[in-house]
Structures are given as structure tokens and as C-alpha cells.
């Protein structure tokens, strides 16, 4: 792991729903400076952030983007196209979204994305360094499963991305949030992390998670 300079512990989160506030809470307890935005003005989510992630700051999305190198995108998937294309230019963008027809409605591009929905997100935000992660555990499993490194029963979260430095940064984030980190490979390997994929929604230790992802990659 690289050194922990203070600037390493800043995290931006776009989305103040179940997952956004859960990640914010985890990052706060891992010592991060956390900025969160929702749709609309910051006042709209101020109480939510104050109660569900005390210490995190409710700000505009522009301010979130300016506050940290790593931004977690945790909005309902049918809303991501409402964000400007270049808003995340140069940022590491953790795509924590999942496409659910039951929530997002029918979206042909997302439903049929042959290389996974994160590739669609990368095409949309072409100037961002997209890493798919934090999406394959439910927010409640995420909350309850966080453990310090080395503790028995620690489970794993995977990250997939084409920008290897970005992936390395997200792997470090995952570890600090309380999970073993597994490198899933290129962004299109994120397909295996989606709903209906082999690892979605189930708690796995790092070894198991790696094996399942490896088996998926080999059979593809």
C-alpha cells in the first residue's frame, strides 16, 4: 500500500440514496473527508447526510467533483445520463450503479450492453477513468460486513477497469472501507459483477471471489 498522505483520504459521492449514504458512512469511519451530492441543491440532502453520515458534507455535484480525485457514482441508473458528459474529466469514477428493470424501467442500451453497463458509463463519461466496483454487495451487506484488515471473516469486493492506476487506487479504497480487494481485470470484466452475474449479491471471501471471477473469465 502507498503512504497515507492526508490528500489520500478524500472521497466524493454523487448520490445520497441507500448506497451513497452507506458508502459515505463507511468512508467517514475510515477517516476520509467525504463530500456528497444529490439531485437538486445541497439543502435537499443536508438533513439526510447529517443523520445518515454525520460529518460528511452535503454540497453540489460540481463541488463533489472538485473535492476529491475519487468519485463514487451511486445514483439510480436511469439518472446517470442527466449528468454532463465532462463533469468527471480526469477523476477516477467508481461506477457503483446497477441496472434494474424494476427500478430503472426498460433501457435497451443498458439491458443488452454486451460488455457490461460500466462500458456504457465509460462511453458516456469518456474523460473519466471509470472503475466498476462497490456494486455487487447490497447496501445492507456492505454495512454489516466491514472488517479491519486481517480479521477473520473479512469478505471481498472486486474492482474492474482499464486504467490500471485508477483500479489500484480503488483497490486501496476498498481495503480502507473494510474489505479485501480483488482486481477483476479490464472494465468489461465488470459484466461478471452485475445482477445475474456469478458473484452478485452474495458475500464471498477474497479467494472465492477471485476463483469465481477467474472461472467466469475463462468460460467467456
| Least Å from the CB of residue 127 to another protein | 26
Residues 156 and 139: their CA atoms lie apart, in Å, by 14
Q: Which residues bind another protein (CB under 8 A)?
A: 1, 4, 16-18, 21, 25-26, 29-31, 38, 45, 47-48, 50-54, 78, 100-106, 139-140, 143-149, 175-176, 178, 194-196, 200-202
| Least Å from the CB of residue 169 to another protein | 13
| Least Å from the CB of residue 53 to another protein | 7
How many alpha carbons fall within 13 Å on the CB side of residue 124?
A: 19
| Least Å from the CB of residue 11 to another protein | 14
Nearer to another protein, 81 or 164 (CB): 81
Residues 185 and 58: their CA atoms lie apart, in Å, by 33
E-strand stretches of 92-211: 92-95, 129-133, 156-161, 180-185
Nearer to another protein, 50 or 86 (CB): 50
- DSSP-derived 3-state class of residue 204: coil
Amino acid at each position: 500500500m502507498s503512504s497515507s498522505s492526508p490528500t489520500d483520504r478524500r472521497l466524493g459521492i454523487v448520490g445520497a440514496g441507500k448506497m451513497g449514504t452507506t458508502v459515505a458512512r463507511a468512508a467517514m469511519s475510515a477517516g476520509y473527508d467525504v463530500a456528497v451530492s444529490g439531485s437538486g441543491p445541497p439543502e435537499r440532502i443536508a438533513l439526510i447526510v447529517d443523520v445518515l453520515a454525520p460529518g460528511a458534507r452535503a454540497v453540489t455535484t460540481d463541488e463533489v467533483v472538485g473535492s476529491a480525485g475519487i468519485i463514487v457514482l451511486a445514483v439510480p441508473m436511469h439518472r446517470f445520463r442527466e449528468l454532463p458528459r465532462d463533469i468527471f474529466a480526469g477523476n477516477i469514477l467508481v461506477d457503483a450503479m446497477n441496472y434494474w428493470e424494476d427500478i430503472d424501467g426498460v433501457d435497451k442500451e443498458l439491458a443488452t450492453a454486451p460488455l457490461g453497463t460500466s462500458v456504457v458509463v465509460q462511453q458516456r463519461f469518456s474523460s473519466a477513468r471509470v472503475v466498476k466496483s462497490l456494486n455487487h454487495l447490497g447496501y445492507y451487506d456492505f454495512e454489516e460486513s466491514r472488517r479491519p484488515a486481517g480479521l477473520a471473516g473479512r469478505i471481498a469486493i472486486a474492482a474492474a477497469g482499464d486504467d490500471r492506476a485508477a483500479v489500484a487506487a480503488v483497490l486501496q479504497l476498498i481495503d480502507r472501507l473494510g474489505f479485501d480487494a480483488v482486481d477483476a481485470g479490464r472494465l468489461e470484466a465488470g459484466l461478471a459483477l452485475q445482477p445475474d452475474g456469478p458473484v452478485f449479491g452474495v458475500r464471498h471471501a477474497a479467494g472465492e471471489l477471485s476463483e469465481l471471477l477467474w472461472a467466469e473469465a475463462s468460460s467467456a
